[in-house]
Amino acid sequence: MAKFKQVPQTFLYRKLLEYWGNMVQNYRSDCQDDDFFDIIRNCFDHDKAVELIEAAYSPKELEEMQHAKLRSSRLDLSDSLDDVFQALWNHERMRDKCRIVLDAIREYMVAESVKGGVDVVEKRFRELKRVLKLSDLEAEVLMVAYVRSQTCFSWPCRVEDREKPLYYAMALDRSYGEVTKVMTAKGKLRKFDILDNDWDFNCRTLGNFMDGTDGEAIERRFYKRCEDKDILPWDFYGELSKKDGEILRQMISASKGKCNILLYGAPGTGKTSFARTLAKELGRTAWEIKQGDDDGKNMKSEARMMGIQICNDQEEPGESLMIVDEADELLRGSSCGFSIFGFDMGGKSTEKGVMNSILDEMKIPTVWISNAPSRAMDESVRRRFDYSICFERMNNAQRVNIWKNLVKKHELGALLPEEKIDEYAGKYETSAGGISTVLANVKQMKPSPEKVDELVAKLMKPHCKLMGVKEGNRFLPAKGYSLDGLNIKGKVKLDRVVKAVRNYLDADSNEASEDKPRMNVLLFGPPGTGKTEFVKYLGKTLDRKVLVVKGSDLLSKWVGESEQNIASAFRQAEAEHAILFFDEVDGLVQSRDSAHASWEVTQVNELLQQMENFDGVMVAATNFCKNLDAAIMRRFTFKLEFDYLDDDGKRVFFEKMFKSALSDEEFAELKDIPNLAPGDFRTVRQEQFYLGDEQTNMGRIAALKEECALKKDGSKTSHIGFAA
């Protein structure tokens, strides 16, 4: 028996010999790389190799090779074995004898290697093949790649990446066509990132699993069982559980397996918790596809897709519900990519065809959760969902319900009575997750009843700031505000508009919607002329909340999301019975005649449609009325032009703001100031308040002149919107 170096007799070693032997048999060209013979140098005894060589070749042949003219063909049996066999191989006329020696060495190695039993690598290899449902050939290709990454096994020459499938075929003793078929980008090995794009083993994906460093089952590397401890009760979701829950219950029960459900919308609106609660309500085990590994690193999309397939194959369809959270990149598809206002920015995303195939092949009911708008997904992906729910930002009634349920859950009813809940729900417009976090901390900190209000404020305010959430409804008019003094052009006065809106709101709610006139009001004119203050006054006078939406707030980088944001604003206003106020509307709906992109047109079309169907009061304000689309203009019941103050208005606002009567001389000075607006009086009053100096009327008039002078050169007053 041959003398071997101290090489472990393992499954890895046996596979190394098998693939190397096949390479020896199948390689027919000149071998230019010493690495091909490294396995002999690393694993076999030098003296025994020389003995086999001397037995295969005649003394005359050995002498001839020892005196060869070319250095690459000159044989020196005292050299390292890789050099010895490279020299033998380079004598093409006697290469068959070299193959005989190499086969003999391999037989000796194989005979010795069978002493090794089943080890961890072999167990893991079998498990991976079983779980991923790899074919025999796919499994062997994977093993060749793994052997190459862990041993001295190399290709017989330095090859380009595109040539590697050929050498995989030689190592496996299979045809080139068979091997390339399982090594395509759409095959399991590359689709799930087991082989990288260079056809090499991806150690990052499965390295720790194959070598036994990670003792966790392959399934648990990619998905986990959802624990029941933090799952909210079904009635927590109110109308959502009643309306959509029953449909989902019937759909999943009837599907007998395959059922793709999409939950999409703004972050923090309860999509994930709803999916978990749904699983519990249906009596199913919830399996969540992991987003990161144990080291806290985010998983690539390919690895998550592998987890989806494994879960789909391993778990029982009638007893399980799969949850794929943060599925935005998976669902987006390569044809959508990343876009800003309709321009493709070429962002990385999963191949659309692969995603479609996975959706079609699902056996387990699956909930897909995305923060992106539905239109960010390719149409072919969207139409594969059996049911979808859009989660919008909560209105006040929904927040009240969340507060009540969470107060009950955390047993804080004694500290937070219903009147406090109503106050907090209106003041802190945050998500269910934010409310839950704050209440959990309140429970842990155990404040006294008189301190609970202060503690909630201390916890909620930084949370709202962190999340970019507006705190409270502070959209209220200035103290003592009235309509007196405003310069409104046209025949319709503001008090009549207020009365008309009141009558609209008081109208019989049973009146046929299609016959009921719409109440859309446009306020336009220069900045500071009182448009926004009038909307505040309208809300207070009519005892209605004002939902403020700026045109810039609705614009999105995603094609189609701006339209969804517009529709969502109207739905929220309707749900809360609020006055919907579009500030800076010119930034959202310019004339379609000047549009440069399709999304500019679709935004206008969406607003037109919503205005037609809106059963409520909508007010829009702009500094640039001429830029608005003509069709939008026709949909406003009232169009009110706010202009700079006339002489009477100047007196009214001066005496109202400064609590001081004007002399004739002072009034004459005030009248000479052009382009004076109500906002200018407030600015001057604020400046003088903080300065703390005693001011005369003439001093105030001088300050107003200075303020208006700044408007002319634009150094202080900036226009909002696209127009100059």
3-state secondary structure of 115: coil
Contacts (Cβ under 8 Å, ≥6 apart) of 307? 221, 222, 223, 289, 290, 299
- Residue 60: which pLDDT band, with cuts at 50, 70 and 90? very high
Measured CA to CA, the distance from residue 70 to residue 55 in angstroms comes to 24
At 518-554, the pLDDT tens digits run: 899 999 999 889 899 999 999 888 888 888 887 766 7
Percent of the chain whose pLDDT exceeds 70: 82
What is the C-alpha separation between 113 and 107, in angstroms, rounded? 10
Quick one: which of 576, 569, 640, 578 has its CA closest to 611?
Answer: 569
**pLDDT score recorded for residue 606:** 84
Both structure tokens of 644: 């700079």
Q: Residue 369: pLDDT above 90? A: yes
* DSSP 8-state symbol, 590: B
Alpha carbons within 13 A on the beta-carbon side of 415: 22
Highest mean pLDDT out of 149-158, 348-357, 373-382: 373-382
With a cut of 70, say whether residue 599 has pLDDT above it.
no
Running DSSP on this structure, what letter comes out for residue 298? B
**Segment of 292-306, 333-347, 505-519, 637-651 carrying the highest mean pLDDT:** 637-651
**How open is the CA angle 479-483-485, to the nearest 5 degrees?**
105
pLDDT value at position 598? 54
Which helix (H) or strand (E) element contains residue 355?
A: helix 352-361
**Locus of tokens 């091909």:** 36
pLDDT confidence of residue 347 = 42
d(CA 484, CA 247): 55
C-alpha atoms less than 13 angstroms from C-alpha of 679 in its C-beta half-sphere: 19
Residue with more model confidence, 220 or 705: 705
**pLDDT > 50? residue 2:** no
Q: What percent of the chain is predicted at pLDDT more than 90?
A: 19
Q: Which of 144, 155, 162, 147 is nearest to 198 (CA)?
A: 162
Interval 136-159 mean pLDDT:
82
Residue 251 scores a pLDDT above 70: yes
**Given this model, what pLDDT does residue 296 score?**
61
Averaged pLDDT score across all residues of the chain: 80
Strands 285-289, 223-225: pairing is antiparallel
What is the structure's pLDDT at 338?
35
> For position 571, what pLDDT does the model report?
84
How large is the angle between the packed helices 95-113 and 46-56, nearest 10 degrees? 140
Indicate if the pLDDT at residue 286 is higher than 90: yes
Q: Is pLDDT larger for residue 605 or for residue 321? A: 321
